[in-house]
Structure 1
Amino acid sequence: MDTSVARRNILARIRAAQGRPAEPAASEREAVTDYLERHPEGPRPPMPGDLVTRFVEEARRMSSTVEEVATLSDVPAAAHRYLLEHNLPVRAIAWETLREFAWAEAGIAVEFRKPVDLDPVGITGCFCATAETGTLVLLSGPQTYASAALLPETHIAVVPVSRIVAGHEDAFGLIRTERGELPRAVNFVSGPSRTGDIEQTIVLGAHGPYRVHVIVVRGA
């Protein structure tokens, strides 16, 4: 189902009720762009010059595990190593965008599709990552399905250092610059899913993966 069509239809009806044409005029879009460029940011904490180190520290603080590798070609072996160390199945589903990686040679059976209930491991990339909170920013799309990071009990994410930005403000700025508009879903993943609803005791894996493992690629 193409939800973008339904969204456009809903917004068109709202605009019609306001006495405006169904599609925004160029002047309206220019006014929005001007506002975003002029709108002052709120206070932000100071950030170190080394965003990679800050991201790794904060990701671990949020209960993610992290391994750093030199190049993208090292990713499959690192993922295989993580799965073996944690006695996890060496099979996974992955984003279509990761199809060119040498998964089979590394010993992992990977299928490039959306997950189903019994898939143990989901492997994704990321749109970017924020150093301030150790957060992965994932944008949904035909080849980057959101469920790959949410349904499997183990989520492995590939993070090139070139895609690590300071904070959420920078992440949204990058989305506007590179994509122009938000996709159907933008997910901010800060470690494994958790809840403290029962007796204020933190339980991992409440609404998503029990484990989040981040592979930081220094040469990408």
Structure 2
Amino acid sequence: MDTSIARRNILARIRAAQGREPEPSVSEREAAADYLARHPQGPRPEMPSDLTTRFIEEAQKMATTVDTVETLDEVPSAAHRYLTEHALPLQAIAWQTLQDLQWAEAGLNVEFRKPEDGDVVGLTGCFCATAETGTVVLLSGPETYASASLLPETHIAIVPASRIVSGHEEAFGLIRSERGELPRAVNFVSGPSRTGDIEQTIVLGAHGPYRVHVIVVRGA
């Protein structure tokens, strides 16, 4: 469901209550961009030149399992290998942006739709990933539905090495430069869902997937 019109109307009402025009003017947008450019960043850890290795190391610390392949064509076989090794179903739902990959040839039954009750595996790509924390960044859209990474018990994310950036600051900068504005949902996934609310005991899968598996594509 596209909620962009509803969001625009809500923001327009807020701006009207403030005595401003419904849409931001060019000068307002330029002022916001100037502020972001000049705003000082806080202390940050030094990043290595090899962001891919750093991303993998940090992702594994967060209980994400990681596999690496050289090309996108190898992704379906890597996904099949992971599911087989963990005795998981060879059926999955996936983002529509992944339809060109040869899933059936790899022995997987993949449907390109939003998840429903009973769907155990969700396949997604990503917008980018951050090396500092081993985080996968997902942007929602008509073909990249957020539910694919949230509802199934197992989330498999495809991460092109070329889309690994240093940290969250670079991730948001990339969103602004490539998309212009934030979509309805921006999800930062750092390993399986977890909670420690009950007796400070960590429980996985409390609010989302029990498992997060990342396939890093070094040549993409």
Q: TM-score, normalised by structure 2?
A: 0.98
Q: CA deviation at 1:167?
A: 0.3
1:106 alignment partner in structure 2:
106
Q: 2:77 & 2:154 partners in 1: Cα distance? A: 17
> Residue by residue, what CA displacement relative to the aligned partner does 1:145-181 show, whole Å, maximum 9, x if unpaired?
0000000000000000000000000000000000000
Q: Which amino acid aligns with 1:156?
A: I
Q: CA deviation at 1:3?
A: 1.9
Q: CA deviation at 1:15?
A: 1.3
Moved over 4 A (4+): none
Q: Which amino acid aligns with 1:219?
A: G
Aligned residue pairs, count: 220
Q: 1:48 & 1:20 partners in 2: Cα distance? A: 46
Q: CA deviation at 1:2?
A: 3.2
Q: 1:113 & 1:70 partners in 2: Cα distance? A: 27
Q: Which amino acid aligns with 2:123?
A: I
Q: 1:197 & 1:91 partners in 2: Cα distance? A: 33
Is contact 2:154–2:212 with CA below 8 Å preserved after alignment?
A: yes
1:163 alignment partner in structure 2:
163
2:219 corresponds to 1:219: yes
Q: 1:210 & 1:2 partners in 2: Cα distance? A: 29
Q: TM-score, normalised by structure 1?
A: 0.98
> Residue by residue, what CA displacement relative to the aligned partner does 1:34-77 show, whole Å, maximum 9, x if unpaired?
11111111111111111111100010000010001111000000
Q: Which amino acid aligns with 1:115?
A: P
Q: 1:132 & 1:6 partners in 2: Cα distance? A: 35
2:210 alignment partner in structure 1:
210
> Residue by residue, what CA displacement relative to the aligned partner does 1:85-107 show, whole Å, maximum 9, x if unpaired?
00000000000000000000000
Q: Which amino acid aligns with 2:81?
A: R
Q: 1:169 & 1:16 partners in 2: Cα distance? A: 31
> Residue by residue, what CA displacement relative to the aligned partner does 1:187-215 show, whole Å, maximum 9, x if unpaired?
00000000111111111100000000000
Q: Which amino acid aligns with 1:35?
A: Y
Identity %: 79
2:27 corresponds to 1:31: no
Q: Give the 3-state SS of the residue equivalent to 1:11 in structure 2.
A: helix
Is contact 2:161–2:216 with CA below 8 Å preserved after alignment?
A: yes
Q: Superposition pairs for residues 71-150 of structure 1, below 5 Å?
A: 71-150=71-150
Q: Give the 3-state SS of the residue equivalent to 2:208 in structure 1.
A: coil
Q: Which amino acid aligns with 2:83?
A: L
Q: 1:65 & 1:108 partners in 2: Cα distance? A: 20
Q: Which amino acid aligns with 1:76?
A: P
> Residue by residue, what CA displacement relative to the aligned partner does 1:91-126 show, whole Å, maximum 9, x if unpaired?
000000000000000000000000012001000000
Q: Superposition pairs for residues 181-196 of structure 1, below 5 Å?
A: 181-196=181-196
Q: Which amino acid aligns with 2:24?
A: P
Q: 1:182 & 1:43 partners in 2: Cα distance? A: 25
Is contact 2:2–2:142 with CA below 8 Å preserved after alignment?
A: no
Q: Which amino acid aligns with 1:89?
A: P
For structure 2, list consecutive stretches of 5 or more residues without a partner in the other structure.
none
Q: Give the 3-state SS of the residue equivalent to 2:216 in structure 1.
A: strand
Q: 2:117 & 2:61 partners in 1: Cα distance? A: 29
The CA RMSD over aligned residues, in Å, is 0.8
